[in-house]
Structures are given as structure tokens and as C-alpha cells.
Amino acid sequence: MFRLVAAILTLLVLAPAASAHASTVTPPPPEHRADPSLTTYVHRLGPYTIGSYETLLKSAVPKPPPVAGAIVAMDARLVDKAGHVIPQQVTMLHHLVFTNGGPDGKRGDPMCPQKSTRERFWGTSEELRPMTLPPGYGYPTDPADQWHAFVMVMHHRAGDRQFYVEYRMTVDTRPVIPVKPYWLSIVPCSPDPQWTVPGSGTKTQTRDRTFTIPAAGRIVAAGGHLHGGAQAIELSQPRCKDRTLVRNQPAYAPAGDPLYKVRPLLHEPDPKNISWWQSATGWPIKRGEQLKVTAAYDNMSPHTRVMGIEHVYVAPPLDPKAANGCASGPTDAQRLGAEFTAARMTPPTVTLTLARLDRNGIARATTKGTGTQRTVHGDFASVFVRDFTYGPQQLTVPRGATVRWHFADAQSHDVTLANGPEGFASPWLKAGDKYSHTFEKPGTYLLQCSLHSAQMSQVVKVTRARPRPRDEDPLRR
């Protein structure tokens, strides 16, 4: 796992050049909520080609705006060659992270001082929430800045698809108040900052992390990123009785949305939108202020590979003394929510199956296992992951047994629950890596590789019997 983390972090610093097309110039789109006299620069990354039911991971070198100034709004989407937006139910932008190393390429991320990660200044995902800043504020930009990006895209159809990542930046060349971005991830400084909600039968599971902000200032904008099953993400101030400063509320697509009609459904859909908070006055914070990020997820059923990230933008302080107390919040705060009708504000129940390709290369939903079988009566079993296959593909073990997956492919894979009694998921792993899980709950576990859902699946059946004392697997060590 360390090798994979190091490799992707290196890509974000020294990524090989990917196509970044010359910019076009337009007025600000409505989503940017910007002064109509400003200019929006539209750039593209690509073209990329994604295969049948594939998850594509790419590093890229985006171009910053061609003028010096400040970015006051930014968004991204997938488009075809003609510029038509590609629907999410066809090909989905799952994650997109932009970093800025500055003109010398050495500007580090303040939340990851021990790593080579450059300043993460904006990102988006299935929520497609634009970055917008209050009037008079902006993120400083220079044509000499060295940007990099990490792109994760999912294709929900058979056949290849060509696409571009189009990103739009509205720039103000007049003097504005600069903002400093802080990327507060509950699983910090990781290219795959995920964890799993097991589905223990309780209403909510929360997970939090506290961060130290190195400079005084005012929080003038904040947005969040969550996955399917999320209830909310909050930014709070422990010094002031842990009061909530910002609550970002996810909004899920209505039941009839095409996102929920994808068959087979390869992963639980994320929120279609998440609220954004902004204020020209802002919340004052001290140098060294601790801020806590808390993500809340439904825990009635499993939710695998979830995230909790808060994007916080801090402007310089107006009055250094204002942060000493715990004054009430800014009266000019805006909460920008979903802009589609019939949004669901609580996570819907989603039932996932496995996917398996038929002879024509079309993925079909299934809950049945296929291929090699093995039954282990002891307390340990080994599975080998090679050539895009779990071996054995069907495994029966007693309750309390530990299963270890040995990864042999140069290509990254993982093992992730699609459906079953209790959720778990491994990191992305490669040749030489191992991952173990102990099955404590009897039942049938439908497992898949989240990166190759239609190509790789496994069914593990856990019996109610206790394992025999003798270990039947010689590969335990």
C-alpha cells in the first residue's frame, strides 16, 4: 500500500504532461454567481478513452488561467469533443483534485507538511459543486503557476467512450482579498482517503478529526465532499464549546433520476449535490486555531469506501482581536443548496448486487457465485488475486475465520463489499500487498474490486460453525 500511496502522491507533484487544450473565453456561467463583467476561461484535459465498465485513474497537468489575477469561481464537468455534457449515468466524474505548486513548483500543502503534496486548492466529485467565493475575494493565480490534477472517472456502459474533463475558471484581474485554501480530510494526506461504515444497525455513525490552522484569518467559504449514505459533514470550533461553524448538507437525486436506474448499479451513488457556505464577513479564527471536521453516515446498512472532506477558504483577518472571543456568526452568511427539484435530504436505501459480463461483454446483475470453489473448516484461508480474478471465486469459511487476500497483479485492485452482513473494504493494492479480514457475522458476502466491478467478483459464505482449532491453510504466514 505504501508504494501505491507514494506513487500517486508523486504523480500529483511530477505528473507527465497530459493534453490541456487552449482556452476559450466566455462570460461567467450562472453556476459561478460572479460579476457578469468578469471573464471565464474554459480549459480541457484529454481526450481520454475509458473502456467498458472501467474506472479510470489519471494524473494530468492542467493549465492555469492565462492572466494574473484571482479565481473567484471554478467548476468542472465531463464533455464530448463537441462540448456536450456527458450524463453521469453514462460516464461519471467521481473525483477531481487540483493542486498548485506555485511558479517554482514547491508550494506545499499546509495540511500535509510531511509529504510532497502541493497545495490542494479545489476539488469536485459526483456532487459537482462549484467553488464560489464572496464578491471581492479570490484565489490568487498566475500563468506561471504549476498545477497538477488527479482524475477518477467511472464508465457505466459497455464499449469505449472518449471524453474530456472541462474546467471553467472565472478570473478577476482587479485587486481582491486573497484566500488561502485548507483541505481538511478526516483520513488525511492519502490519495484514497476512505473508510467503511459497517452497517451495525444504529442510526448514525460519526467520524471526526481535529486540525490546527497555522495562520489567523476569517473563514469566508467552505464546502464538503461525502459519499453515498452520508447525512452531513460539519466544521466546528472546539475552543467555543465545539459550536458548529458550517454544516454542509448532501442532497440526493430523486428516486426516478437516471443515476438510480443504472443496471447493474456498480457502486452506491453519491449525493448529487452538497450545500456550500460563504460569507464576506466570515468566521474569525486565531493562529493555531483548532477546527474539527465531523462526517455523519447512516449505519443501518453498510456503506463502503466513504469519505469526509471539508474545503475551507480563509481570508486575512480584519481585526486580530476579533478571534479571541466566541462572537455570534456572520449575518451575511449564505448557504447554497441543491438546484434541482425533488432533492432527497436523507440517504436513500440502495441494494447492490455483483456484476458479471455475458458472452457479448454486457454486464448483468447477479447475486450468485461462479468459478472455482473452496471450503475451509479452519480459522484461516488465503485468496490469490491475479489476472483480474479472485482465487477461489467462491469460498466458504466458518464464523470467526480470517481471510487473507494476496495481490499479485501489477494493476491496482481491492476487495470491497457490494452486499452482505457487514461492510469492509481494502485499500488499492498491487503485487506483493496483502489484506486480511475476519468474518464475525454469518451470511453471504458479495465482494468485488471497486476499480473493476464488472470483471472481478467473489462470493464468501460464512457459516455459523466455529472454526476447528487446527489451521487448514498452509499459507497462514
Write out the three cell numbers for 437. 479480514
pLDDT at residue 23, rounded to an integer? 76
pLDDT at residue 464, rounded to an integer? 96
- In terms of domains, do 304 and 367 share one? no
Instruction: Please say whether the dihedral angle defined by the alpha carbons of residues 320, 322, 326 and 329, taken in this order, is positive or negative.
Output: negative
Tell me if 145 is assigned to some domain. Answer: yes
Name the residue range of residue 392's domain: 354-463
- Residue 421, sorted as left (phi over 0), alpha (psi -120 to 50) or beta, turns out to be alpha
Question: Could you tell me which of 458, 452, 456, 457 has the C-alpha nearest to residue 54?
Answer: 452
Rounded to two decimals, the pTM is: 0.93
Quote the number of domains for the chain: 3
Average pLDDT along the chain, 477 residues, taken 10 residues at a time: 39 45 86 98 98 96 98 99 97 98 97 95 97 99 98 97 98 99 97 95 97 98 98 99 98 96 95 98 97 99 98 95 91 96 96 96 96 97 98 98 98 98 98 98 98 97 86 55
CB 271 within 8 A of CB 230: yes
pLDDT at residue 7, rounded to an integer? 40
Tell me if 82 is assigned to some domain. Answer: yes
Tell me if 368 is assigned to some domain. Answer: yes
Tell me if 471 is assigned to some domain. Answer: no
Tell me if 469 is assigned to some domain. Answer: no
- In terms of domains, do 124 and 207 share one? no
Question: Where do the DSSP E strands lie in 387-428?
Answer: 389-391, 394-398, 402-407, 416-419
- In terms of domains, do 418 and 273 share one? no
- In terms of domains, do 188 and 337 share one? yes
DSSP 8-state assignment for residue 358? -
- In terms of domains, do 97 and 200 share one? no
Residue that is last in its domain, among 137, 156, 176: 176
Tell me if 470 is assigned to some domain. Answer: no
- Chain centre distance of CA 376: 36
- In terms of domains, do 230 and 215 share one? yes
- In terms of domains, do 33 and 64 share one? yes
Q: What is the DSSP string of 148-199?
A: EEEEEEEE-SSS-EEEEEEEEEEEE-S--EE-EEEEEESSTT-SS--EEE--
DSSP 8-state assignment for residue 238? G
* CA–CA separation, 411 and 449 (whole Å): 12
Residue that is last in its domain, among 130, 151, 176: 176
